[in-house]
Amino acid sequence: MNRPICVLTIIVIVAIIGLHSCGVVFFDYDKVYELDGTNEKFEGIILGKKSETDYKTTYIIKIKKINEIFAGKKFLLDVKKKDYSKELEYGDIITFNGVYNKPNVQRNYGGYDYSLYLKTQNIYGTFDGSQIELKSKNKGSFIQRGIISFKEYIKGILKENLGEDEAELCIGLVIGDRTNLAKDIQEDFKTSNLTHMLAVSGSHFVYIILAVTYINKFLKRKRLGQILMIIVIILFMNLTGNTGSVVRSGIMASLGIIASIIHRKSDIWNNMAIAMLIQIILNPYIIFDVGVQLSYGGVIGIVAFNKVVTNSIEQLSNKINNYIKESISVTISANIVIIPIMMYTFNTISLSFVISNLLAGAILGIIVLYAFALILLYMVLHNFIFPLFIILNLMLKILIYIAHICSLIPFSKIYVVTPNLILIILFYLFLYLLVKKQKSRILSKKTIAFFTIAIIILNFIYPVLTSKRDNLEINFIDVGQGDSTLIRVSNKTILIDGGGSSYGETFDVGEQTLFPYLLDRGINTIDYVIVSHFDSDHCQGLNFIMENMKVKNAIISSLGQESNEYDTFLSLAKKQNTNLIYVKKGDIIKIGDCTIKILFPNNEPITDNEKNNNAIVFKFLWKNISILFTGDIEEKAENKILSLYSDNLGELKSTILKVAHHGSKTSTTKAFLEAVKPQIALIGVGEDNNFGHPNSGVIERLESIGCEIYRTDECGEISIKFNKQIIINTILNSVK
């Protein structure tokens, strides 16, 4: 490569990823994290508003120097509206009583790492604020205050003259703020592969450059106009929040202008490399920002493959309209690079992205330019131009409609298992060789065939190969205040329960935790789902799984389980052609070389707390390993089980016990433990839950029999592998 700056950038990126993988922490995040739970009085300056709900507002705040380790660092401040209802603004200096909370790390394999996300924004964690006192107002930068005021002014103009949804969409398109954009509209844009349109991109800076160039014609001072362009770009970067993708676009645009000023040829590859290096110097964690990855990936794809794809389209037909040809070419070129990122991060691909981008792209540029022009005109003519906003409102409605229609196209959103990182690296290596070796600038049939084979390997062959296993592996998944266990053995996949609604109605454990987890594990088909009982914290997360993944068989009991959750599950099973297996005491199910023995319930259901006390209790057997799953049974059910097996209590003895009811004091009696005699106990429980689970008495009883205790609140996901010995790993490495 003849561009040493590009080589240096690649080396730096690889080094940062390598160091991060080895546990190296840049800056002093660990020192701050050690102060988790600190409760004292702080003083800080408001830098902006992060988000807002009906109950609280979250601000970005920088702590003042008087607070030692926290000094000079950015945090999120949660303020409950019942404690402080006034709006805080940029530059306000406040004092508050704050409890510091370090951000959550990854709690399951492949799971979301909130701490890493905050690091990409230079944020060290969250304060729960109370006793807020405004010390002084507007002490921040005069320029920044002006930018924020102008931003709010733009929002006000659009909200005043457009419909609610149209205004929020326009705010997203113009300044990249989609905080209040309706969730269903955001989901339509996401499903139709149009999310990138809601982020400020290089095209915005092109519009700025064109506008300033036009103004400069009247000034007739080219050098002054170019300097003005850079100033406007910097101001616009601040206006749009200085997100990673915006900074990338702004730096690259500025470098292109600077090259013109000093009479040097601008090189887009070098500009990209310099932009990346600048961002890394400011914050090494920026390379883990998905928006930044997609931003750079899209530009790389367009620069590297646009001519190749365009020539290939022309070979197919030279009668295609230039706009259509260019739109298709740009979209395909960008997606060649970003599709693996989408697969790895979001587990989705789209086969309709060409159609959606072709339709939406035709109107997007017009909307952005027209909106900018109207905002400027409104500042001069005010209400006299209201009729012109009617046209903008109509165009925005059309764009919303296009996104919705495109989201309904078959294959617009296909879920895929997380591809292996090595395969992704090999894929990008092939792309590099393709760019280096491609002479004809036309994608040959062999090249197309190779791409097809690569995608097949990435999506289908790898999961099949990795699913084959002779040994037993159990993953006790952290789904918060709920239960979910994945068992893989004999090329079979068994999912026991699926967590549920412990996070509230806005958080779907199935969609946002369990489903991504299974895809990260390379699983796209479940052979058996076992539902212990139909309490929401055990079954609700399975609904999304049933709707979006092939589930061959479901093992359930109907005894005492009549409920809306039960009816919903039956409906989904019928719709998805899932084979229902109803079980009761004495049933035996063979799955490969494993055996499931149903111990309870019998034909006489317990009437007290019916769902919990009639949960399926079963023993999973593999070679000399036995695991007892107990659902949420309570003392009454435990006593009945002891009575049923009083002549053969050895039937209950198990290597591992899934502790009933999240360690509630109503379960796991001394008599039951003496019969089971577990070596290992697993407790599914939410961190800082409101139920006091697990009960201290239960923990004492488990400890008294010498049982090893593993809890999801302390350990995160618990993985157990069985071969010649039992190997237990926890994702948080905090085993009690």
Do the beta carbons of residue 481 and residue 502 sit within 8 Å? yes
Amino acid of residue 525: T
Calculate mean pLDDT across residues 283-299: 93
Calculate mean pLDDT across residues 599-628: 92
Do the beta carbons of residue 70 and residue 110 sit within 8 Å? no
CATH code: domain of residue 50? 2.40.50
Residues 176 and 121 in one domain: no
DSSP string, 29-77: HHHHHTTTT-EEEEEEEEEEEEEE-SSEEEEEEEE-GGGGGGTT-EEEE
Q: Which helix (H) or strand (E) segment is 581 a member of?
A: strand 579-582
Check residue 506 and give its pLDDT. 67
Check residue 401 and give its pLDDT. 95
- Determine the Cα angle at 249 with ends 244 and 250, to 5°: 95
- Least confident range of 353-357, 473-477, 569-573: 353-357
Residues 119 and 217 in one domain: no
- Show which of 140, 159, 187 is a domain's final residue: 140
Residue 24 within a domain: no
Residues 381 and 352 in one domain: yes
Question: Taking the C-alpha atoms of 210, 388, 149 and 147 in order, what is their torsion angle to the nearest 10 degrees?
Answer: -10
- Show which of 415, 431, 449 is a domain's final residue: 415
Residue 442 within a domain: no
Residues 283 and 352 in one domain: yes
pLDDT band at 458 (very low <50, low <70, confident <90, very high): low
Residues 369 and 501 in one domain: no
The three state secondary structure string of 435-481 is: HHHCCCCCCCHHHHHHHHHHHHHHHHHHHHHHHCCCCEEEEECCCCC
Do the beta carbons of residue 445 and residue 467 sit within 8 Å? no
Residues 541 and 492 in one domain: yes
Residue 735 within a domain: no
Number of structural domains found in the chain: 3
Residue 212 within a domain: yes
Instruction: Specify the long-range contacts of residues 669-676, CB closer than 8 Å, at least 24 apart.
Output: 669/635, 669/638, 669/639, 669/701, 670/701, 671/638, 671/639, 671/642, 672/638, 672/641, 672/642, 673/701, 673/702, 673/705, 673/707, 674/705, 675/642, 675/645, 675/649, 676/628, 676/652
Supply 80's token pair.
């409950």
- Determine the Cα angle at 651 with ends 607 and 528, to 5°: 70
DSSP reduced 3-state for 709: strand
Place of tokens 């409950």: 80
Query: What is the distance between the alpha carbons of residues 700 and 567, in angstroms, rounded to a whole number?
Result: 39
Residues 312 and 247 in one domain: yes
Calculate mean pLDDT across residues 315-329: 77
Query: What is the distance between the alpha carbons of residues 707 and 694, in angstroms, rounded to a whole number?
Result: 15
Do the beta carbons of residue 557 and residue 616 sit within 8 Å? yes
- Least confident range of 75-84, 304-313, 390-399: 304-313
Place of tokens 């400027």: 376
- Least confident range of 9-23, 135-149, 296-310, 568-582: 135-149
Query: Considering the chain, what is the average pLDDT of its residues?
Result: 87
CATH code: domain of residue 626? 3.60.15.10
pLDDT band at 735 (very low <50, low <70, confident <90, very high): very low
Amino acid of residue 205: F
Do the beta carbons of residue 537 and residue 500 sit within 8 Å? yes
Residue 101 within a domain: yes
Do the beta carbons of residue 545 and residue 526 sit within 8 Å? yes
Residues 124 and 94 in one domain: yes
> Phi, psi (5° rounding) for residue 718?
-115, 120
- Determine the Cα angle at 444 with ends 440 and 446, to 5°: 135
Check residue 316 and give its pLDDT. 72
Instruction: Specify the long-range contacts of residues 574-578, CB closer than 8 Å, at least 24 apart.
Output: 576/546, 576/547, 576/550, 576/551, 578/529, 578/546, 578/551, 578/552, 578/553, 578/554
Instruction: Read off the pTM.
Output: 0.89
Residue 40 within a domain: yes
Calculate mean pLDDT across residues 623-645: 94
Percentage of the chain exceeding pLDDT 90: 52
Residues 354 and 486 in one domain: no
Check residue 313 and give its pLDDT. 81
Calculate mean pLDDT across residues 368-374: 88
Amino acid of residue 172: G
Check residue 479 and give its pLDDT. 93
Domain containing residue 68: 35-140
Q: Read off the DSSP letter of residue 413.
A: S
Query: What is the distance between the alpha carbons of residues 602 and 640, in angstroms, rounded to a whole number?
Result: 10
Residue 691 within a domain: yes
Q: Of the candidates 22, 76, 68, 71, which has an alpha carbon nearest to the alpha carbon of residue 47?
A: 76
Residues 76 and 183 in one domain: no
Q: Is the pLDDT of residue 439 over 60?
A: no
Check residue 454 and give its pLDDT. 64
Residues 403 and 480 in one domain: no
- Show which of 383, 398, 415 is a domain's final residue: 415
pLDDT band at 220 (very low <50, low <70, confident <90, very high): low
Calculate mean pLDDT across residues 358-363: 86
Residues 535 and 671 in one domain: yes
pLDDT tens for each residue of 84-135: 888 898 999 999 999 999 999 999 999 999 999 999 999 999 999 999 999 9
Q: Which residue has the higher pLDDT, 23 or 13?
A: 13
Calculate mean pLDDT across residues 582-588: 94
Residue 447 within a domain: no
Percentage of the chain exceeding pLDDT 70: 92
Supply 552's token pair.
């061959």
pLDDT tens for each residue of 475-525: 999 998 999 999 998 889 999 999 987 554 568 899 999 999 999 999 999
Calculate mean pLDDT across residues 50-75: 88
Rounded to 10°, the helix 290-316/322-346 angle is 140
Query: What is the distance between the alpha carbons of residues 729 and 721, in angstroms, rounded to a whole number?
Result: 9
